[in-house]
Amino acid sequence: MKKATIISDSGTIDDHLGSNLPPEIVTDVLYRLPVKSLCRFKCVSPSWKTLISSPHFAQTHLHRAEANHHPLKAILFSCSFDLYSVDFADANPTPKKLERPSFKHMSGSRSLSSCNGLVLVSDKGYVNFLFNPSTSEYKELPAPFPEYSSDDVFYSPGLGYDSYTDDYKVVMPFSIEGRVPNDAAVMVVAVYSLKTNAWRTIQDFPYTPVGCRRVCFNERLHWLCRRTVGLDYSKIVVAFNLADEIFREVQMPASYDHDEFTHHDMVVLEGCLSLLVWSQAGRIDVWMMMEYGLRESWTKFLIVNLGSGRSIVDVLCLSMQDELVLRLWEERFRVIRGSVEDDGERLILYNLIKGTQREVVVPGILTEYVVGDHYIETLVSPNHGGRISETM
């Protein structure tokens, strides 16, 4: 029998995790616990705290959670700049206010981008926090530019993890009115690295992002964009490779609807990059790219039909790997009842595999909570600065 040992951050062999089980079994049990239990169990002993706090533990815990398809939680960013978490697995999902960083600018252009349990919380791309909603740990990122001007145009930044350099990166297309030397319509891209805690400006970005979700998948950050060069305004998915820092286009399905009046979103469903396309009728087309990077593998997987009289406002987030949280608007409720209690807002959890839908009530879901995203509960700390590999 080989005896596994636990190497703690200080590099010493830790035999103090308990006297009745070998440390590798205690560690294996701890990997299976939710974040809240682990944070409480830091009080068991200094050895437990050292183990649970180590970046290596956080990384393995994350991989286990991903492999076991842990349920997702939602994070909502409200009008009043408060952050809420929601567990849609609850019978009555209720937004729970999170201890949040404080915002100075509050411009009104909020965005969220989630990766490995960390959420990038942005106010107009200028004020950025890396926030772990499961542990309430956060880090304020330096401003991307020394001076802030209300004329600057930032597009929703995306957060991604590059395993090659073991670094978290924030990628943000922007154009600064009057400060970009040549064509103002051409955007450039700023990249922030958590390891260096600094922004850099990289290449041009001849696209305009549409929708506000950025998807980190396959070590690439994806934007759904419109082309801005020439007269071609078709939609395109642009993928930023986090390792070589080059943008590449992902070919759209051959029969993709580029109509100006359709809405689009992008999520990862069942391990496939997927496009959601809808117009005002209560129907969504779901395209899944079965083999990443292969245009022929785009498959119109299914059509979600929610019935007439229901307008789809947007896809708030996922509640599971295969379940969409849809914001709907039912005009007839507003007309007939017209009360404050029922203003026509609907939240539907639509399971794509089972084809089932379930309505949940979250008051103010259309008016108060502006943007949402989903995250997996992890111990990944925004203050480790990507030191994971050093301890392995």
DSSP type of residue 91: S
Exactly one of 16, 195, 226, 258 binds another protein (CB under 8 A); that residue is 16
Paired tokens of 268: 């990862």
Q: Residue 91 interacts with another protein (CB under 8 A)?
A: no
Q: Residue 36 interacts with another protein (CB under 8 A)?
A: yes
Count of alpha carbons within 13 Å of 322, Cβ hemisphere only? 11
Largest CA distance in the chain: 72
Q: Pick between residue 65 and residue 277 the one whose CB is nearest to another protein.
A: 65
Q: How far apart are CA 14 and CA 46, in angstroms?
A: 11
Count of alpha carbons within 13 Å of 85, Cβ hemisphere only? 19
Q: Pick between residue 222 and residue 384 the one whose CB is nearest to another protein.
A: 384
- Shortest distance (Å) from residue 135 CB to another protein: 8
Exactly one of 12, 13, 15, 40 binds another protein (CB under 8 A); that residue is 40
Q: Residue 64 interacts with another protein (CB under 8 A)?
A: no
Q: How far apart are CA 62 and CA 50, in angstroms?
A: 17
Exactly one of 5, 12, 13, 32 binds another protein (CB under 8 A); that residue is 32
Q: Residue 334 interacts with another protein (CB under 8 A)?
A: no
Q: Residue 70 interacts with another protein (CB under 8 A)?
A: no
Q: Residue 136 interacts with another protein (CB under 8 A)?
A: yes
Nearest to 58 by CA among 47, 70, 69, 50: 50
Q: Residue 202 interacts with another protein (CB under 8 A)?
A: no
Exactly one of 5, 13, 15, 46 binds another protein (CB under 8 A); that residue is 46
Q: Pick between residue 25 and residue 185 the one whose CB is nearest to another protein.
A: 25
Burial string for 198-225 (b: 16+ CB within 10 Å, else e) reads ebeeeeebbbbbebbbbbbbeebbbbbb
Q: How far apart are CA 55 and CA 387, in angstroms?
A: 7
Nearest to 25 by CA among 41, 3, 56: 3
Q: Residue 84 interacts with another protein (CB under 8 A)?
A: no
Q: How many C-beta atoms lie closer than 10 Å to residue 60's C-beta?
A: 18
Q: Residue 353 interacts with another protein (CB under 8 A)?
A: no
Q: Residue 28 interacts with another protein (CB under 8 A)?
A: yes
Q: Pick between residue 24 and residue 342 the one whose CB is nearest to another protein.
A: 24
Q: Residue 308 interacts with another protein (CB under 8 A)?
A: no
Q: How many C-beta atoms lie closer than 10 Å to residue 102's C-beta?
A: 9
Exactly one of 26, 86, 272, 277 binds another protein (CB under 8 A); that residue is 26
Paired tokens of 283: 């129907």
Q: Pick between residue 35 and residue 286 the one whose CB is nearest to another protein.
A: 35
- Residue span binding another protein (CB under 8 A) among the ranges 14-22, 260-268, 291-299, 301-309: 14-22
Burial string for 146-155 (b: 16+ CB within 10 Å, else e) reads eeeeeebebb
Paired tokens of 6: 């636990």
Judged by CB under 8 A, the number of residues near another protein is 31
**Residues in touch with another protein (CB under 8 A):** 1, 16-22, 25-26, 28-30, 32-34, 36-37, 39-49, 99, 136
